[in-house]
Amino acid sequence: MKQVSIDKNIEADPDLLPLVRRATEVLDLEISTSLLKDEVSASWMLDFSTDRVPRHISLILCGEGVSVSGEFSTGDLETPSYVQRKMGRLWGDYLQKLSHKQIQEMIAGSKSDRFLDGSDALERIIDSMTEYSEREGREPVSLKLPVRYAAALMKLGPQYWGEFYRGIQKSGLRAFAGETVLGMKVELVTGVNAPLEVA
């Protein structure tokens, strides 16, 4: 795991601390085969907000912008089979929530790229040029242009492209391949999620 934090009140409890440490070992084993194991942090908290008996202990898993939590009593932590099942469910909940977040981000990203108009595409290319120039100390000379960006640039029409627009009308998207746009030689890139890149 990336990090494990244990509430000072748990650390001060000689009966509870070993139970929490054993439960953390079970969690560590549960996530040990995942590529995400080094991205997840665990936090154990002792809740004094209620007079609940048995005591209420919370475990929060967080990482990659998502978090899930589970509650344990002292009795729960004393039962290895329960701890193992609970850790499996918590890890499953975390992965499900993370997957949902990633899918939403992909949908949002693909929608925003897919429905670009010409001026949006041009602005993004200029922004990429600017970021590259500031980072590298020189202007980029090549542009990997995804097909969806080329299609958006076509929408700028003859008023923007002038004579080059005849080539676009004749060859379509292929007209951009090998051309120089904003001082960069264009390489058309296919693929739904192909990134816009300057170099």
- Segment 105-122, tens digit of pLDDT: 765 555 455 667 888 889
Percent of the chain with pLDDT over 70: 91
For the segment 58-68, the average pLDDT, to the nearest whole number, is: 92
The pLDDT value recorded for residue 47 is: 78
Region 32-55 average pLDDT = 79
Domains by residue range for the chain, with CATH: 3-112 (3.30.160.100), 116-198 (no CATH)
pLDDT, position 107: 59
Is the model's pTM score more than 0.75? no
Question: What local confidence, expressed as pLDDT, does residue 13 receive?
Answer: 92
The per-residue pLDDT for range 93-106, each reduced to its tens digit, is 999 998 888 877 76
Comparing 50-54, 62-66, 130-134, 155-159, which segment has the lowest mean pLDDT?
50-54
Asked whether residue 34 carries a pLDDT value surpassing 60, the answer given is yes
β-bridge pairing 41-47 and 56-63: antiparallel
Give the pLDDT score at 113.
59
Question: In terms of pLDDT, which residue wins out, 93 or 55?
Answer: 93
Per-residue confidence at 30, pLDDT binned at 50, 70, 90?
very high
- Measured distance CA(84)–CA(78) in Å, rounded: 11
Check whether 20 has a pLDDT greater than 70. Answer: yes
Q: What is the mean pLDDT of the chain?
A: 88
Tokens representing 73 are 């009593």
Burial 61-100 (b: 16+ CB within 10 A, else e): bbbeebebebebebebbeeeeebeebbeebbeebeebbee
What's the pLDDT at 106?
66
pLDDT tier at 185, thresholds 50, 70, 90? very high
